[in-house]
Amino acid sequence: MDSTLMTDRNVRSASPVLAIRDLSVGLKTRTGVTELVRNVSLDIRPGERVGLVGESGSGKSLTMLAVMGLLASPVTVTGGSVTLGETELVGAPDRKLRALRGSEIAMVYQDPMTSLDPLQRIGEQIAEGLRAHGTSRSEAGERTLAALAEVQLPDPHRLARAYPHELSGGMRQRVMIAAALAGNPRLLLADEPTTALDVTIQRQILSLVARIQRARNLAVLWVTHDLGVAAQFVQRLAVMYAGRIVEVGPTAAVFSAPQHPYTAALLAAVPSTTGERSALGQIPGSPPEPGSFPAGCSFASRCRQARPGCTQAEPALEEREGGVAAACFVPPAEWRP
């Protein structure tokens, strides 16, 4: 296992584990295609934790499902590519994708109870995943125990014989992480895995994943609606709105000087446990429904900074200073207070 900590520069220069290019996802109906995710591009390099942040309906979970090849008809990838190392995932046959999931790519979801079989012992479930990828029975058993120990579950031998219902929510999520990482993947995809947990348990899970991730130099894509989790957990984040990435960059830069008015408005809406107690920022209106994305910038009708031109053309995601890219015509220097 590679336990070298990569510096930020190393992370930058290494070739990406996962490269998402112009990925679009749509809902195919008799009358046409409703766009749900539009031209999403994102790289995740070895040893990097990347966050995909957005509110409900922003397309973050669909992007994740598209990457995993788990979209179900009539929702399909309508354009772009997703490459894992050298392998193109879009359009790859199911058999190939299944082989990659659990070996190269691991996944963790919000609700462990929907992924765990309630009638099967924990240990058997983890071992089964390993055996499906050609590990021998005895080796699978050993690796299962090692995986349970790695996620700091007490008494792995006893736990391997337990059923999911005997565990607390936090322990179940640890089991899911153990199962996901047992196959020694290069990439971990996580869809809101700590959202249903209490904050004290969430903290433990985040610390745990960060530690394992660093030790293994894993690439992580973490989908969350929680800006706090993003702030504390990921090194780089992409903010999604109405199916597009509207801002992407190093977490510290995005939080300290957001370049897109939506990011700025979202940050102003989050209450804090410290600092001045004042009214929270609000965003008027609601996000556009998929299928009726307005002309121009999707955020324009709700945007404090909108100018007449914003409803004419859609701003492209463009590089700004500090490694941040934003899709907005109005630079922060010209923002109204």
Footprint of other proteins (CB under 8 A):
55-56, 152, 154, 167-171, 174, 198-204, 206-208, 210-211, 214, 225-229, 231-233, 251-252, 255-256, 265-274, 277, 279-283, 286
Q: Which residue in 195, 186, 257 sits closest to 53, CA to CA?
A: 195
Nearer to other proteins, 7 or 256 (CB): 256
Rank residues 200 and 292 by Cβ distance to other proteins and give the closer one.
Answer: 200
Distances (CA, A) of 238 to 15, 75, 135, 222, 246: 19, 23, 36, 10, 8
Q: What are phi and psi of 298, to 5 degrees?
A: -65, -20
Side by side, the strands of the sheet bearing 325-326 are: 105-108, 187-191, 219-224, 49-53, 236-241, 244-250, 325-326, 318-319
Interatomic CA distance for residues 322 and 92, integer angstroms:
36
| Residue 45 or 302 with smaller CB distance to other proteins | 302
* For other proteins, the closer CB: 51 or 183: 51
Q: Which of 207, 214, 235 is nearest to 1 (CA)?
A: 214
Distance of CA 138 to the CA centre of its chain: 34
If phi > 0 it is left, if psi is from -120 to 50 it is alpha, else beta; for residue 98 that is alpha
CB 214 within 8 A of CB 235: no
Q: Buried (b) or exposed (e) across 140-175, using 16+ Cβ within 10 A?
A: bbebbbebbebbebeebeebbebebeebeebbbbbb
Give least dist CB 229 to other proteins, A. 5
- Judged by CB, which is closer to other proteins: 250, or 332? 250
Q: In angstroms, give the least distance from the CB of 321 to other proteins.
A: 18
Q: Which residues pair with 33 in a beta bridge?
A: 28
Closer residue to other proteins, CB minimum distance, 21 or 203 = 203
CB of 171 to other proteins, least distance (A): 6
Taking the complex as a whole, the smallest distance from the CB of residue 121 to other proteins amounts, in Å, to 18
Q: Cβ 195 to other proteins, closest distance in Å?
A: 11
Distances from the Cα of 170 to the Cα of 205, 206, 322, 331, angstroms: 8, 11, 37, 43
By beta-carbon proximity to other proteins, the closer residue of 82 and 253 is 253
Q: How many other β-carbons are positioned within 10 Å of the β-carbon of residue 183? A: 20
Q: How far is the CB of 119 from other proteins (least distance, A)?
A: 19
Shortest separation between residue 272's beta carbon and other proteins, angstroms: 6
Which CB atom, from 83 or from 235, has the smaller least distance to other proteins? 235
